[in-house]
Amino acid sequence: MSISLFLLLLLALAAAAYVAGRARAEMVAGGDIRRLHSLPRQHGLNLAIAFALPALVGYAAWRMAGAGGGLWASLLILALGAASALAVWLALKPETRARNEVEAATKLFLVACSVIAVATTIGIFLSLIFETIAFFQKYPAAKFLFGTKWAPDFRGGSDLGVIPLLWGTLYVSAIALAVAVPVGLFAAIYMSEYASPRVRSLAKPAIELLAGIPTIVYGLFALITVGPMLRDWIAQPLGLGSSGASVATAGIVMGVMIIPFVSSLSDDIINAVPQSLRDGSLGLGATPSETIRQVVLPAALPGIVGAVLLAASRAIGETMIVVLGAGAAAKLSLNPFEAMTTMTVKIVSQLTGDTDFAAPETLVAFALGLTLFLITLALNILALVIVRKYREQYE
């Protein structure tokens, strides 16, 4: 029996159990539902749960055990649910605490749903770690971590050093931050300290719109507009390169993308600096800009550092902009107009198309994923801790 048919049958039978439970409760009450501890519909729900829960658990266990959806097995599992429902039906008395049972089951469901978040993290970690171990059994970890050459070859004899990819990632992210931090910070300062409410109500959503645009749009923008522009106007006249895809292209476009990450969080943080600090400074005769530079910003600094760290984590994990804007050649170079590549680009290129999950050239993507995950995790946790500590300071 297919899963959808089973679920449909289960739903129909659960509905029947609900009706039966309601009717039974009304019968037991002898026409006066005030005699019942719980409302008839709660009895109905209780019966439906008593049917569906064991059937679902049984079916899940059956499928997990690797067995196919046999017709008889499915019917047996449904019968199991029906037996459990029948037991509840027979035991139904006016004083049965159906509501408490239903609420306990609901709470169980709520807990299960919140645990999914933890399960996702565990799943990410396990899926990365197992394949990474498999990779390190085929390729020495030291060569991966300290190798300065990246030249995968599916016929064997690949060089899979992470250093050039790490360099590309950090270079692109550094350019992105060099664009986003000054622009984002000044935008945040202007919006929180100078702008009238009207300007603020227009500018804030406009800047946040930048964060709502999908990254593939930025990628295409880098590919068809920014890349050729940088090449024709800057790189070629200066003789620095002739490639549209370059670290500078990807970095600048990514910088535009993370402006709102810097500005939104910095704006919140600057707003959280107590007004009394500003008043004190202005009262001593400082101009607003002196107040901001010498009082507000130092007070907000830890929070701003947190915001920048979050933006950096965003930049390091960003994929589509670098796939379309940065190029595919792994290089260790200082020239920003040269095409370089990043860890995320190589994860994509090693895992798309026909992949052989026994080859180190495929498995290396998982090691790259783990590296990426650990770097961003460290940045995120650091940023969260800093921001949280900072918030407590003024509360």
Partner 1 sequence: MTAPTRSLLVADARTKARNRAEARFRAYGLAAILLSVTLLGILLASILSNGLSAFRQTEITIPVTLDAAAVDKGGKGDLSSLRATSATAYGKLIAKALKDELARQSIPTAGLSDKDIAALISEQAGADLRNRVLGDPRLVGQTVTVDALATGRIDGYFKGRVTLESAEKDSKIKPEQLHLADAMRDAGMMALRFNSGFLTNPDASEKRPEAAGLGVAIAGSLYMMIVVLGLSLPIGVAAAVYLEEFAPKNRFTDLIEVNIANLAAVPSIVFGILGLAAFINFAGLPRSAPLVGGLVLTLMTLPRIIIPARAALKAVPPSIRDAALGIGASKMQSVFHHVLPLAAPGILTGMIIGLAQALGETAPLLLIGMVAFVRDMPGLPPGGFLDPATALPVQVYNWTQRADPAFTERASGAIIVLLAFLLIMNAAAILLRRRFERRW
Contacting partner 1 within 332-391 (CB under 8 A): 344, 347-348, 351-352, 357, 365-366, 369, 372-373, 376-377, 380-381, 384
Contacting partner 1 within 8-37 (CB under 8 A): none
| 160 bridge partner residues | 150
Min dist CB 144 to partner 1, Å, is: 17
Query: Residue for token digits 């907000």?
Result: 300
Of 82 and 369, nearer to partner 1 (C-beta) is 369
Task: Report whether 191 contacts 240 (CB < 8 A).
Answer: no
Of 106 and 242, nearer to partner 1 (C-beta) is 106
Min dist CB 157 to partner 1, Å, is: 25
Q: Is 134 in the site for partner 1 (CB under 8 A)?
A: no
Min dist CB 119 to partner 1, Å, is: 9
Min dist CB 83 to partner 1, Å, is: 28
Contacting partner 1 within 35-94 (CB under 8 A): none
Min dist CB 381 to partner 1, Å, is: 7
Min dist CB 146 to partner 1, Å, is: 23
Distance CA 287, CA 30 (A): 82
Measured in degrees and rounded to the nearest 5, phi and psi for residue 275 equal -60, -30
Q: Is 225 in the site for partner 1 (CB under 8 A)?
A: yes
Torsion sign over Cα 390, 268, 273, 256: positive
Please, is 117 exposed, middle or buried when counting C-beta atoms within 10 Å of its C-beta (0-12, 13-18, 19+)? exposed
Min dist CB 128 to partner 1, Å, is: 7
Query: Residue for token digits 């460290």?
Result: 378
Min dist CB 305 to partner 1, Å, is: 16
Q: How many residues belong to the site for partner 1 (CB under 8 A)?
A: 88
Query: Residues 172, 230, 324, 330: which binds partner 1 (CB under 8 A)?
Result: 324
Q: Is 224 in the site for partner 1 (CB under 8 A)?
A: yes
Of 80 and 305, nearer to partner 1 (C-beta) is 305
Which range of residues in 9-17, 100-108, 147-155, 243-251 is near partner 1 by CB under 8 A?
100-108
Of 75 and 116, nearer to partner 1 (C-beta) is 116
Query: Residues 19, 27, 216, 284: which binds partner 1 (CB under 8 A)?
Result: 216
Min dist CB 90 to partner 1, Å, is: 26
- Three-class SS string for the chain? CCHHHHHHHHHHHHHHHHHHHHHHHHHHCCCCHHHCCCCHHHHHHHHHHHHHHHHHHHHHHHHHCCCCCCHHHHHHHHHHHHHHHHHHHHCCCCCCCHHHHHHHHHHHHHHHHHHHHHHHHHHHHHHHHHHHHHHHHHCCHHHHHHCCCEECCCCCCCEECCHHHHHHHHHHHHHHHHHHHHHHHHHHHHHHHHCCHHHHHHHHHHHHHHHHCCHHHHHHHHHHHHHHHHHHHHHCCCCCCCCCCCHHHHHHHHHHHHHHHHHHHHHHHHHHCCHHHHHHHHHCCCCHHHHHHHHHHHHHHHHHHHHHHHHHHHHHHCCHHHHHHCCCCCCCCCCCCCCCCCHHHHHHHHHCCCCCCCCHHHHHHHHHHHHHHHHHHHHHHHHHHHHHHHHHHCC
Contacting partner 1 within 138-197 (CB under 8 A): 182-187, 189-191, 193-195
Min dist CB 213 to partner 1, Å, is: 7
Binding mask 288-317 toward partner 1 (x if CB under 8 A, else -) reads xxx-xx----------------x--xx-xx
Distant-in-sequence, close-in-space partners of 117: CB < 8 Å, separation ≥ 6: none
Q: Is 201 in the site for partner 1 (CB under 8 A)?
A: no
Min dist CB 113 to partner 1, Å, is: 4
Contacting partner 1 within 253-282 (CB under 8 A): 256, 259-260, 263
Of 89 and 246, nearer to partner 1 (C-beta) is 246
Binding mask 114-133 toward partner 1 (x if CB under 8 A, else -) reads xxxxx-xx-xx--xx-xx--
Query: Residues 209, 294, 301, 394: which binds partner 1 (CB under 8 A)?
Result: 209
Task: Report whether 388 contacts 305 (CB < 8 A).
Answer: no
Which range of residues in 206-214, 234-242, 296-304, 333-341 is near partner 1 by CB under 8 A?
206-214
